């Protein structure tokens, strides 16, 4: 009889302990739910602030400024203003050139070679404010052409209709990029690439397989030009079209890279896309993450066309 009472008492204590655990878990779940609801109602951000990257330029509007669709009166003087915005996280410098399609014998904007050029400099973009209410302030610069005086066309043929003309605004800058990713071996998890939005984007695929006591790490690096018809890629000194500098390093490992079966490094050909295959040998059987650093160095030329007209007769 005593043994039966003892068993019943033990069962009651066990039930109380289980009930206590269930109540404890329920309190934790309820607390987490309330915190989540509170966060939703208070408007806490669920995602990071979206930011822009890249360099943009546009014409400065104004009464005596040349712009799209403007009609210049006979002998009218004018200025070309260019506004540059840098959304990248580092300072940027480069060159802005303006030229027209009218012979220099009629004065106006120089049309020979690159035309009229000036250097620009912009500070890096800044993110201001707290998360959830942040704003992005790009670095800016404004250039005015010509640096002294104003442009004016002289001696154009007399026409009943305004003379159609074109303005070409060209931006040149050097793009130096370091793209990073963590390459884990012998795991086959695909790497996450860290980079800003740039004229050339990089993606990396990885495969690892055993080779005796070592592991062979194979990488497929794809370079892709962003779909922008106004942008052309050059070598960093702007002497060779569709040429870029490429280098890849994988921590302490020896990384060998080829394209179409030929070893590559340094200055390479590049148009719209290039696939580069690299391989390295790891002797570690433990899971190790090797930092991959891809370095690119190239020139970017972006050009915009603006249509305008010139009256050659006073009506």
pLDDT tens, position by position, for the chain (315 residues)? 444 444 444 445 555 454 444 444 433 433 443 333 333 333 333 344 456 778 999 999 999 999 999 999 999 999 999 999 999 888 999 999 999 999 999 999 999 999 999 999 999 999 888 777 788 899 999 999 999 999 999 999 988 899 999 999 999 999 999 999 999 988 888 998 988 778 999 999 999 988 788 899 999 999 999 887 789 999 999 999 999 999 999 988 999 999 988 888 789 999 999 999 999 999 888 888 999 999 999 999 999 999 999 999 776
What helix, strand, coil percent values describe the chain, rounded to 5?
15, 50, 35
pLDDT at 315: 62
- DSSP labels for 69-100? T-EEPTT-EEBEEEEEEE-SSS-EEEEEEEEE
Domains of the chain: residue spans and CATH: 55-173+304-310 (2.60.40), 175-301 (2.60.40)
Query: Cα-atom radius of gyration of the chain, to the nearest Å?
Result: 32
Give the contacts of 178 (CB within 8 A, at least 6 positions apart): 293, 294, 295, 296
pLDDT at 26: 39
Q: Length of the chain in residues, anyone? A: 315
pTM of the model: 0.76
């Amino acid at each position: 009889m005593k043994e039966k009472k003892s068993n019943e008492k033990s069962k009651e204590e066990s039930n109380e302990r289980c009930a206590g655990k269930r109540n404890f878990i329920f309190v934790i779940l309820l607390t987490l739910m309330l915190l989540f609801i509170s966060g939703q109602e208070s408007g806490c951000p669920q995602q990071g602030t979206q930011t822009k990257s890249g360099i943009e330029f546009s014409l400065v509007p104004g009464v005596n400024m040349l712009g799209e669709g403007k009609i210049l009166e006979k002998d009218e003087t004018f200025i070309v203003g260019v506004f540059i915005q840098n959304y990248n996280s580092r300072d940027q410098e480069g060159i802005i050139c303006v030229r027209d399609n009218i012979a220099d014998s009629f004065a106006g904007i120089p049309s020979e070679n690159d035309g009229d050029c000036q250097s620009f400099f912009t500070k890096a973009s800044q993110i201001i404010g707290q998360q959830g209410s942040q704003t992005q302030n790009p670095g800016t610069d404004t250039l005015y052409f010509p640096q002294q005086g104003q442009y004016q066309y002289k001696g154009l043929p007399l026409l009943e209709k305004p003379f159609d003309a074109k303005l070409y605004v060209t931006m040149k800058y050097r793009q130096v990029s370091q793209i990073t990713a963590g390459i884990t071996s012998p795991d086959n998890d695909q790497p996450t690439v860290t980079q800003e939005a740039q004229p050339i984007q990089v993606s990396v695929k990885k495969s690892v397989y055993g080779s005796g006591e070592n592991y062979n790490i194979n990488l497929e690096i794809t370079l892709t030009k962003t779909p922008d018809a106004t942008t052309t890629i050059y070598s960093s000194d702007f002497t060779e079209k569709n040429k870029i500098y490429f280098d890849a390093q994988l921590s302490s490992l020896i990384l060998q890279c080829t394209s179409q079966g030929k070893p590559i490094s340094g200055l390479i050909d590049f148009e719209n896309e290039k696939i580069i295959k690299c391989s390295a040998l790891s002797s570690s059987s433990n899971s190790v993450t090797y930092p991959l650093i891809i370095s690119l160095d190239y020139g970017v030329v972006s050009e915009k066309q603006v249509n305008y007209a010139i009256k050659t007769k006073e009506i």
